[in-house]
Amino acid sequence: MPQACVIGLGRSGIAAARVLHRDGWEVTVFDQADNEQLRAMGQPLIQEGISLNLGDRLEPTTTTWPERMVVSPGVPWDIPLLVAARAKGVEVIGELELAWQYLHAVPWLGITGTNGKTTTTSLVHAIFQKAGLKAPACGNIGHAACELVLQNQNYDWIVAEISSYQIESSPTLAPQIGLWTTFTPDHLNRHKTLDNYFNIKASLLSRSTIQVLNGDDPHLYGHGPGLYPQAHWISTQGANHLAGLCEPKQGVYLQDNWVNAFGELIAPINLFKMPGQHNQQNLLMAIAAARLAGIDKKAITETLLTFTGVAHRLEPICTVNGVQFINDSKATNYDAAEVGLSSMKGPTILIAGGEAKEGDDQAWLAQIQKKAVAVLLIGDAAPSFAARLKAVGYGNYEIVETMANAVQRGLELASKNNASAVLLSPACASFDQYNSFEERGEDFRACCLGLVS
């Protein structure tokens, strides 16, 4: 029986292990952590005949290598174990690549980018559903891709949100339509240089039959035309902005308050409920994908009228004493947090901090000076963020350490400063205090709802 190991006991790792086991592989799942939650997650696998090895750091000194290793997205692609495995001829792939090997006969729509992926993916998924297509969302959103393999159904499309980590470990994944939403510095602790990060993203688009890119993104605007001469582009800035990128009939853009897709008027943009230019860009990307997939205007317009957003991305939680509390926990870097703050209509109390990332904080700091009447700092980054704010002459900040303190203090400061909103938009990863940005957002939600109970 051929041997395989899966690295990482998360949702994707569990699904990958089951796919391999179903097809006759002897499977062991490894995770360097060991706790009661992981043991409970792994128990069903053991009952199915899959081995579980928790608390093993997997040093690259093993004498017996499996034929295949499947890596969960959170595992760095260049750790010594994987480098050694590849040198020994082991097939090392990501969970998404494993799913692609089974589902490549179905057209995939792959969505990548630094920011905007989740909202764009959710919009595409909603439009395809409205059109009556069986088009599940997977990857960084919805299902683990291998769960779709296990369901053994006939899909019309697979809509995949694909991170740079997943692209890196999926060398043959080739979408029918590839979307690139934005590009700004992120994940540099993993990818080392901006060029590496860009080239990983670019490789997915290069393998896509049809490309759609965001013409409002400065980096893509400057680099994309040379890479993808036949690409379709979107812009909120009108047909003239697309002139150097593609013919207007090859693009999707806003003109005189209307969405124009490939030369056809779709709907007035003011029917769209979500605030901010960035969300208009996400919508145009989704409309481009839908029209290229042959979906009619009716399904697009109906989705445009009803779609209100995704959890943890500028998500309204509640209003207390006239102050709105908004969850933007998904803003895990400076650019996403700058976009979140810029979308606020009035004076805002900002909650920021967590596990800091590398990146350029200038635009974020400028937006704080413009919009935030106070900043409440949590997590490991609080002291360094306080120093950055002080360095640019912004003094109305406090280190409050925890989410509960931040929410309570936010309500107090909002009433004192006539602020209309308290916004959690951390500009940081969550792993100093939480297991994920979702868990952080749920803690914010619970703290906010505690104010009204």
Letter for the amino acid at 410? G
Indicate if 278 and 367 belong to the same structural domain. Answer: no
Evaluate if residue 310 carries a pLDDT over 90: no
State yes or no: 113 annotated in a binding site.
Answer: yes
Evaluate if residue 132 carries a pLDDT over 70: yes
Mean pLDDT throughout 160-171?
94
Q: Are 94 and 110 in contact (CB under 8 A)?
A: no
In terms of pLDDT, which residue wins out, 335 or 405? 405
Indicate if 288 and 329 belong to the same structural domain. Answer: no
Letter for the amino acid at 386? A
State yes or no: 119 annotated in a binding site.
Answer: yes
Last-in-domain residue among 285, 306, 327? 306
Looking at 13-22, 59-68, 205-214, which range is the least confident one? 59-68
* Number of structural domains found in the chain: 3
Mean pLDDT throughout 210-228?
92
Indicate if 125 and 246 belong to the same structural domain. Answer: yes
pLDDT value, residue 192: 57
Indicate if 227 and 107 belong to the same structural domain. Answer: yes
Q: Are 300 and 267 in contact (CB under 8 A)?
A: yes
| Rounded-to-integer distance, Cα 443 and Cα 323, Å | 18
**Nearest CA-CA partner of 88 in 71, 64, 52:** 64
Evaluate if residue 223 carries a pLDDT over 60: yes
| pLDDT one-digit tens code per residue, 2-23 | 999 999 998 999 999 999 999 9
State yes or no: 64 annotated in a binding site.
Answer: no
Mean pLDDT throughout 231-257?
95
- Return the structure tokens found at 210: 């049809």
State the Cα angle at 210 between 173 and 165, rounded to 5°.
Answer: 35
Mean pLDDT throughout 57-85?
84
CATH number at residue 392: 3.90.190.20
Indicate if 26 and 155 belong to the same structural domain. Answer: no
pLDDT value, residue 186: 52
pLDDT value, residue 309: 83
Q: Roughly what angle, to the nearest 10 degrees, separates helices 218-227 and 194-207?
A: 50
Last-in-domain residue among 89, 108, 126? 89
Mean pLDDT throughout 238-251?
93
Indicate if 329 and 407 belong to the same structural domain. Answer: yes
Indicate if 361 and 424 belong to the same structural domain. Answer: yes
Evaluate if residue 187 carries a pLDDT over 70: no
| pLDDT band (50, 70, 90) for residue 335 | confident
Sequence-ordered list of residues with C-beta below 8 angstroms from that of 167, at least 6 positions apart, any chain? 112, 173, 200, 201, 203, 204
Indicate if 410 and 270 belong to the same structural domain. Answer: no
Looking at 36-40, 50-54, 377-381, which range is the least confident one? 36-40
pLDDT value, residue 190: 53
Q: Are 285 and 181 in contact (CB under 8 A)?
A: yes
Indicate if 273 and 215 belong to the same structural domain. Answer: yes
CATH number at residue 284: 3.40.1190.10
pLDDT value, residue 61: 67
| Rounded-to-integer distance, Cα 36 and Cα 12, Å | 19
Evaluate if residue 184 carries a pLDDT over 90: no
pLDDT value, residue 185: 59
Question: What 3-state class would DSSP assign to 72?
Answer: coil
107 DSSP assignment: P
State yes or no: 357 annotated in a binding site.
Answer: no
Evaluate if residue 189 carries a pLDDT over 80: no
State yes or no: 238 annotated in a binding site.
Answer: no
Evaluate if residue 59 carries a pLDDT over 80: no
Per-residue CA distances from 173 to 84, 166, 283 (Å): 23, 10, 25
DSSP-assigned beta bridge partners for residue 377:
352, 399
State yes or no: 294 annotated in a binding site.
Answer: no
Distance from chain centroid for Cα 324:
25
| pLDDT one-digit tens code per residue, 398-442 | 999 999 999 999 999 999 999 999 999 999 999 899 988 999 999
CATH number at residue 43: 3.40.50.720
**Residues written for the chain:** 453
Q: Which residue has the tokens 């128990």?
A: 43
pLDDT value, residue 77: 84
Indicate if 113 and 238 belong to the same structural domain. Answer: yes
Per-residue CA distances from 99 to 138, 208, 315 (Å): 10, 17, 31
| Rounded-to-integer distance, Cα 22 and Cα 333, Å | 39
Sheet containing strand 421-424, strands side by side: 315-320, 323-327, 421-424, 348-352, 372-378, 397-401
Question: What 3-state class would DSSP assign to 191?
Answer: helix
Indicate if 103 and 82 belong to the same structural domain. Answer: no
pLDDT value, residue 274: 87
Whole-number average pLDDT of the chain: 93
State yes or no: 249 annotated in a binding site.
Answer: no
Question: What 3-state class would DSSP assign to 102?
Answer: helix
pLDDT value, residue 453: 67
pLDDT value, residue 73: 82
pLDDT value, residue 56: 78
Indicate if 68 and 159 belong to the same structural domain. Answer: no
| Rounded-to-integer distance, Cα 144 and Cα 448, Å | 30
> With pLDDT > 70 as the criterion, what percentage of the chain qualifies?
97
Last-in-domain residue among 89, 108, 137? 89
- Return the structure tokens found at 148: 């779709």
Evaluate if residue 452 carries a pLDDT over 90: no
259 phi, psi to nearest 5 deg = -85, 120
Could you list the residue range(s) of the whole structural domain that residue 213 is in?
Answer: 98-306
